[in-house]
Amino acid sequence: MTFTDSLRSTITALRDRYPQPRSAVIPALWAVQEEEGFISAERFADIAELLSITPSEVESVATFYSMFALKPRGKHFLLVCTNVSCALRGSDDIVERLETRIGPSGSTSADGSVTWERTIECLGACGYGPAMQLDHHFVENLTPDKVVDLLEHTENYLPGKGSAHHGKPGAHEAHEHHSEPTSEHEESDSKKSRRRSSKR
């Protein structure tokens, strides 16, 4: 099966932004993953053809970065930090709960709703650990019970999709930490920004 027309035109447009077509390999891989959920070996050749490089060059990039999924995932993807700061704040308990509920890192829940993995590197939210990303949105200050709630009400932890509590982005975290509802990601970015400013 080849690309859909829309995916082909997306990757072509990405390619045309760069002086060298090969520079678009990472954006092209993202585009495929975004539309198809993972990057199959067949797509290495499809991307390579559009970027005038070899399939093995595309494969070498896709297999180097852990953020690329090379096999199908569930509807949602949880990336759990187990680096040192999160480990000191209990990420082992988070992992244990996920292993009990879903299976080892890389497993998908029986209903296909969630795939989870443990990180190789720090997620950059050390001050709010244990932390995870849910479909690239940060969820922080995790506890085992909070993880169970997230598995049972995943949509409520996604910005713009919350409904169980307030119907607003990041409702869970806003409820715990702020009077102003804001998304986890926004919260982290603003705090990181303040930290950066204070260092200047």
Structure tokens at 166: 């307030």
Using CA atoms, how far apart are residues 25 and 139, in angstroms rounded to an integer?
29
**188 lines the binding site for ligand FES (CB under 6 A):** no
Binder of ligand FES out of 122, 153, 168, 177 (CB under 6 A): 122
Residue the block writes with tokens 């700061």: 85
**81 lines the binding site for ligand FES (CB under 6 A):** yes
Pairing assessment for the beta strands 114-118 and 76-80 based on DSSP bridges: parallel
**Three-state DSSP state, 160:** coil
**162 lines the binding site for ligand FES (CB under 6 A):** no
**142 lines the binding site for ligand FES (CB under 6 A):** no
**12 lines the binding site for ligand FES (CB under 6 A):** no
The footprint of ligand FES on residues 51-80 (CB under 6 A) is none
Residue the block writes with tokens 């859909």: 4
Q: At its nearest, how many Å lie between ligand FES and the CB of residue 83?
A: 3
Binder of ligand FES out of 41, 67, 84, 110 (CB under 6 A): 84
CB of 88 or CB of 164, closer to ligand FES: 88
Q: At its nearest, how many Å lie between ligand FES and the CB of residue 85?
A: 4
Check if the beta carbon of residue 82 is closer than 8 Å to that of residue 126. no
**158 lines the binding site for ligand FES (CB under 6 A):** no
Using CA atoms, how far apart are residues 63 and 142, in angstroms rounded to an integer?
29
Using CA atoms, how far apart are residues 11 and 188, in angstroms rounded to an integer?
31
Q: At its nearest, how many Å lie between ligand FES and the CB of residue 129?
A: 5
Using CA atoms, how far apart are residues 200 and 198, in angstroms rounded to an integer?
6
Residues of this chain that bind ligand FES (CB under 6 A):
81, 83-86, 122-126, 129, 131
